[in-house]
Amino acid sequence: MGLMEKFFGLSWGIHPKDHKRPAADAVTRIMPAPERLYVSLAQHLGAPALPSVLVGQRVKKGDLLANPQGSVSAAIHAPTSGVVAAIGEIPAPHPSGLPVLAVTLAADGLDEWSEALEATPDPFALAPDEISRRVAAAGVVGMGGATFPSALKLASSRKAGVTTLIMNGGECEPYLSCDDRLMRDEADAIIDGIRLMLYATGASAAIVGIENNKPEAIAAMQAAAQAYSEVSVRSIPARYPMGSEKQLVQTLTGKEIPAGSLPAEVGVVVHNVGTAKAVRAAARYGQPLVSRLLTVNGGAVKHPGNIVVPIGALVEDVLAFAGGFSATPGRLVMGGPMMGMSLPHARVPVVKGSSGILALAGAELADREEGACIRCGSCVRACPMGLLPLEMARHIQGDDLKGAVKLGLKDCIACGCCAYVCQSHIPLVQYFAYAKGTLAAEDRAKLHADATKKLALARGERLAQEAREKAEVAARRKAEREAAKLAEAAAKTATAATVKTVETEGAPA
């Protein structure tokens, strides 16, 4: 930190202790499929996938288990060969542990790949849309944790005319090193994947941004990218949340993404480096996303490191494979310590977006009772979005959610910088999550109420219409009846007249 920065605090974000080593330097391990895998059907942003297998069905590694459903969704594949044991609910990898629908697979131990994979020697010979299609078929989602279906992002970038592909190698979350490890181990594959993504999106250049606390990864990626002028690898300052889309784009391109817009608004799209590898596997070898590299770390872990884990493996299996605990953990977290989710227990499955499993020891947590805000302004300085966390929290405490929205609640990215620096240990992120959730529920309730109102109005109108029609029909009938009566009467007089005539003129013929 410079002197000016020190005296005047001219910066966003925080510099947390990164705890990345020694886990980042440990050799990558590969975890074999455990006996049972619990493959969640809702492990991407959007609608859950629809199962396409039956219980008892035999599948091979890479076979389709579930189809995407709706416009934003992703396919799910078998992480190993075996038999579908059940399709039902399991606890979700979420603090609530609420149930989620999953396909339970009993592994046969052979780990045989499916024969149906579409490999291609030269994916650059395919049409760009064909690459997106293959990526969709492989169920690839954003590997940084947001898990947005990648194929949709590739196709929409092409439509939006994106010119620059930003590759996120920031990995600013403390403790996590899976992207670092991947870039060190498989730089060539990542660069190949980036080139495929450039081809699929039609962007002309790719910039890989890597935080300067990962010199090995920067060196490996620069060496791998040397042959390709369209891919540049840049070292960026290590600062949390550098890996956040808006901050990364601004750091690398100087462009500011307008509030409420996608990066495409400024001609860029952001993908994680891990996604590039998955895109390559899908486009070149037709391999679906069935495993991922994740970091097992934390003060309570005996042998921290990075492990290739099949999707659907239980956290307890991964921890057992990693070598177990050295101490009783105070908290289990999926993801990083800043934005990750606490786990209710270890019997939840790894999903496509799991970048890490942390077993944090008590000393790392700094759990304290919430104190009074002393308005020190640390949160204001730390907020990478330029918000006033203390003011927003004050409004939320007073149940003035609209006031919080006015202060920019909807611009909050929940990065946790404010709560990290808070001297009074106020759980600011929790306040904001509560407010956002309540507002979303209110919006839904309002939609519901509006729909109900509409229906009620329509019913009223319909009833009125019916009444009107009934009245009309009744009136018509009455008119008809009267007309008929008149006609009858007329007919009667006519008959009478006829009879008279007949009487007077003699018998009819």
Partner 1 sequence: MSAADYTDYQAARAFASPHAHGGGEVRRTMFLVLTALVPATLFGFWLYGWPAFFLWLMTLISVLLFEFMSLRLMGQKNAGRALGDGSALLTGWLLAMTLPPWSPWWVGVLGAFIAIVIGKQVFGGLGQNVFNPAMVARVALLISFPLQLTAWVTPLPLTPLTAPGFIESLHITLGQTPVPDAITSASLLGYAKTELSRGIELAQALTTSHAPQLSWLGARAGSLGESSALLILAGGIFLLITGVIRGYAPLGVLAGALIPAFIAHSIAPESYLDARSHLLSGALMLGAFFIATDYVTSPTTGAGQLVFGLGVGLMTWIIRTLGGYPEGVAFAILLMNALTPIIDRVIKPRILGRTWSGRPIVSADAGKEA
Task: Name residues contacting partner 1, limited to 319-348 (CB under 8 A).
Answer: 319-320, 324-326, 328-329, 331-333, 337-347
Q: Around 431, how many Cα atoms within 13 Å sit in the side-chain half-sphere? A: 23
Residue 304 structure tokens: 């921290």
Q: Which one, 342 or 501, has the nearer CB to partner 1?
A: 342
For partner 1, give the closer residue by CB, 191 or 300: 300
Does residue 380 touch partner 1 according to CB under 8 A?
yes
- Site for partner 1, residues 382 to 421, rule: CB under 8 A: 383-388, 390-391, 408, 411, 414, 416, 419-421
Helix axes 128-137, 150-160, angle to 10 degrees: 160
Q: Which is nearer to partner 1, 23 or 422 (CB)?
A: 422
Q: Measured from the CB atom, is 199 or 325 closer to partner 1?
A: 325
Q: Which is nearer to partner 1, 128 or 344 (CB)?
A: 344
Side-chain half-sphere CA neighbours of 490 within 13 A: 6
Residue 368 or 478 with smaller CB distance to partner 1? 368
Nearest to 139 by CA among 291, 29, 346: 291
Scored b (16 or more CB within 10 A) or e, 8-33 reads eeebbbbebebbbeebbebeebebeb
- Select from 358, 392, 396, 435 the one that contacts partner 1 (CB under 8 A): 358
198 contacts 165 by C-beta, under 8 angstroms: yes
Least separation in angstroms between CB 317 and partner 1? 8
Stretch 18-57 residues interacting with partner 1 (CB under 8 A): none
- The residues with which 88 forms a beta bridge, in sequence order, are 102
Question: In this complex, which beta carbon is closest to partner 1, that of residue 139 or of residue 384?
Answer: 384
CB of 346 to partner 1, least distance (A): 4
Contact flag: residue 2 with partner 1 (CB under 8 A)? no
The footprint of partner 1 on this chain (CB under 8 A) covers a number of residues equal to: 86
CB of 323 to partner 1, least distance (A): 9
**Contact pick of 47, 50, 365, 439 for partner 1 (by CB under 8 A):** 365
| Residue found under tokens 């980042």 | 24
Relative orientation angle of helices 187-201 and 178-185, to the nearest 10 degrees: 100
Bridge partners (DSSP) of residue 320 are none
The reply to whether 259 sits near partner 1 by the rule CB under 8 A is: yes
Q: What is the 3-state secondary structure (H, E, C) of 177-217?
A: CHHHHHHHHCHHHHHHHHHHHHHHHCCCEEEEEEECCCHHH
- Between 80 and 119, how does the x/- string for binding to partner 1 read (CB under 8 A)? ---------------xx-----------------------
Select from 39-47, 181-189, 368-376, 478-486 the region that touches partner 1 (CB under 8 A).
368-376
Binders of partner 1 in range 170-229 (CB under 8 A): 174
469 lies in the site for partner 1, by CB under 8 A: no
CA 121 distance to own-chain centroid: 32
Stretch that binds partner 1, among 108-116, 224-232, 362-370, 454-462 (CB under 8 A): 362-370
Instruction: Please pick, from the candidates 2, 121, 260, 506, the single residue that binds partner 1 as defined by CB under 8 A.
Output: 260
Cα–Cα distance for residue pair 472/505, rounded to 1 Å: 47
Instruction: State which residue, 94 or 234, has the beta carbon closest to partner 1.
Output: 94
Q: What is the DSSP string of 128-151?
A: HHHHHHHHHHTT-B-TTTT--BHH
Radius of gyration of the chain (CA): 33
Q: CA-to-CA distance for 339 and 185, rounded, in angstroms?
A: 26
When the beta carbons of 6 and 476 are compared against partner 1, the nearer one is 6
User: What is the smallest separation between the CB atom of 268 and partner 1, expressed in angstroms?
Assistant: 9
Say if residues 277 and 182 touch (Cβ distance below 8 Å).
yes
Residue type at 87 in one-letter notation: I
Residues numbered 227 to 246 that lie near partner 1 (CB under 8 A) are 246
Instruction: Determine, following the binding rule CB under 8 A, whether residue 156 of this chain makes contact with partner 1.
Output: no
C-alpha distance from residue 158 to each of 143, 201, 279, 326 (Å): 20, 4, 16, 49
Window 271 to 330, contacts with partner 1 (CB under 8 A): 302, 315-316, 319-320, 324-326, 328-329
Q: Measured from the CB atom, is 5 or 443 closer to partner 1?
A: 5
